[in-house]
Amino acid sequence: MTHRFSRRFFLGTTLAALGHGAWAGAPAISVRPVARPQGGAAAARLAPSAEALISKANLSGRVGYAVADARTGRVLEEGEGNVGLPPASVTKAVTALYALDALGPDHRFQTRLIATGPVEGGVLKGDLILAGGGDPSLDTNALAGLASGLAKTGLREIRGAFHVWGGAVPFARAIDERQPEHAGYNPALSGLNLNYNRVHFEWKRSGGTYRISMDARSNRYRPDVTVARMRIADRSMPVYSYRDAGSHDDWTVASGALGNGGARWLPVRKPELYAGEVFATFARSHGIKTGPIRTINDLPDGTVLVTHASAPLSTILRDMLKYSTNLTAEMVGLAASARRQGAPMTLKQSAREMSRWSASTLGMSGTELMDHSGLNDRSRMAARAMAQALARAHRAGLLRPLLRDVDLRDAQGRVDRNHPLKVAAKTGTLYFVSALAGYATTPGGAELAFAIFTASDSLRARVDPSRDERPAGARGWNRRSKQLQQALIERWGAVYDG
């Protein structure tokens, strides 16, 4: 019998306990920020108002913010707290809670080698299948380990075919089709992923020519791949072009953009073939020839020969929140939806499922998510709902241990290691969108849960997401937004320090 994580934590210790009293008594939304000073009248008088800080930031667009007592959930102050704005990668904090609720912190993703026939005298009389389980953290080292494990079984020969299967997750060629084709943060989605579905492209100038390579490197190995191929084109722009060549990803790069050398990670659009090719390379190193690689849609019955298990979900989520990896967010969100519904769901369906869950379990009414990573700027979230959700999670001890510490800065913009406020939060950034949500601990020990969303629809309307160019004014706008975020947190630290 599966024991639901939500029953143990969310419903048992948080929502049910806080369904009356403090939560029910949260103040009504006000058009203007409502301050309830706890740090004393002097602190309230000395601290600049939120309105003054927002005016000073000189941001076009909207600013939605809310801060709550993390222990009780009572909203202390808000401005446009009920307005839905793009949360960007702050979405990943909700995704982490969603995955913990459905899968539990000890969940491990499994990647298996399956034999469809008997192994007799070191010979597999059937097919070998590399079957993905939706592991977002599968890397080249793990595939090397699977090949080594297969050799240790005594297998020497495969009489049948070598198949790869990624059907645990419905395939999507990209998270957001509007992003630049070559954006490494926007790879394909599959049940069989490798290296966050990115391939390493490197070039070096030698004399009058370039040496280029495409590989699936890790800290231990550097296997070349052919499922992603690169050609140098005699042009200056565009820097990259992509074509689906059926059996492989066909890339070109502009010679005028290469310089003397460099490297970058490019997205993989054929993840099953990518993982299969790398595994086959390691298998050959052990004397096991796999033959041609074929993708299959349905997973047949068979005997599991070797299994690779991922790190626990809690570790995967901590890394996701630290490095803001989009593929990880989508994989754990899709896995959570599949567990809840009993069958794989498309990304769009899964995002809707997480939106419904956030409303019913975290009280985040009005949340409309388009994905689990925040890459799609059409997602909407309100600051008040997010702040109260964070307070609920705080009571259950769920999220703060997974969030990274956020450095606050001094008046010169330098990191201030001795800042009296301690902040653990998730950031989110798109062009003319900046978000921050998490927890702040004041010098007096008050625990605050907050969310700050800033976005300019008018400026974003001028942005073409498919182009890899920073729009004019974006850097300054986002810098001022981050300065506003710190200023608001410092205000709250002074006013509500008690």
Q: What pLDDT tens digit does each residue of the chain (498 aa) get?
A: 333 333 333 333 333 333 322 332 233 233 334 444 455 555 666 889 999 999 999 999 999 999 999 999 999 999 999 999 999 999 999 999 999 999 999 999 999 999 999 999 999 999 999 999 999 999 999 999 999 999 999 999 999 999 999 999 999 999 999 999 999 999 999 999 999 999 999 999 988 899 999 999 999 999 999 999 999 999 999 999 999 999 999 999 999 999 999 999 999 999 999 999 999 999 999 999 999 999 999 999 999 999 999 999 999 999 999 999 999 999 999 999 999 999 999 999 999 999 999 999 999 999 999 999 999 999 999 999 999 999 999 999 999 999 999 999 998 889 999 999 999 999 999 999 999 999 999 999 999 999 999 999 999 988 887 776 789 999 999 999 999 999 999 999 999 997
φ/ψ (deg, to 5) at 354: -70, -35
Tokens coding 197: 């579905």
Q: What is the DSSP letter of 157?
A: E
CB-based contacts of 272: which residues, under 8 Å, 6+ apart?
132, 164, 165, 166, 190, 192, 295
Tracing tokens 């290469």 back to the chain, one arrives at 258
Instruction: Return all residues near 116 (Cβ < 8 A) that are at least 6 apart.
Output: 126, 127, 128, 129, 160, 300, 301, 302
User: What separation in angstroms does the CA of 178 have from each of 86, 90, 124, 246?
Assistant: 16, 20, 45, 22
Tell me the CATH architecture of domain 109-310. Answer: 3-Layer(bba) Sandwich (3.50)
Structure token pair of residue 55: 């005016």
Q: Domain coordinates of the chain in residue numbers?
A: 5-105+313-495, 109-310
128-131 vs 162-165, strand pairing mode: parallel
| CATH homologous superfamily, domain 5-105+313-495 | DD-peptidase/beta-lactamase superfamily (3.40.710.10)
| Alpha helix stretches (DSSP H) within 224-312 | 271-285
- Nearest-angstrom CA–CA distance, 210 and 226: 18
Q: Which residue in 64, 83, 174 sits closest to 465, CA to CA?
A: 174
CB 288 within 8 A of CB 115: no
CA-wise closest residue to 137 among 319, 337, 387: 319
Give whole-number Cα distances, 153 to 118, 240, 246, 412, 439, in Å: 13, 44, 34, 61, 50
Contacts of residue 45, defined as CB under 8 A and 6 or more positions apart, other chains included, come to none
pLDDT the model gives residue 44: 62
Cα separation of 411 and 414, whole Å? 7
pLDDT in the model for residue 466: 73
Give yes or no for a cis peptide into 238 (omega within 30° of 0): yes
Output the pLDDT for position 161: 97
Q: Look up residue 26 and give its DSSP letter.
A: P
Contact 283, 146 (CB under 8 A): no
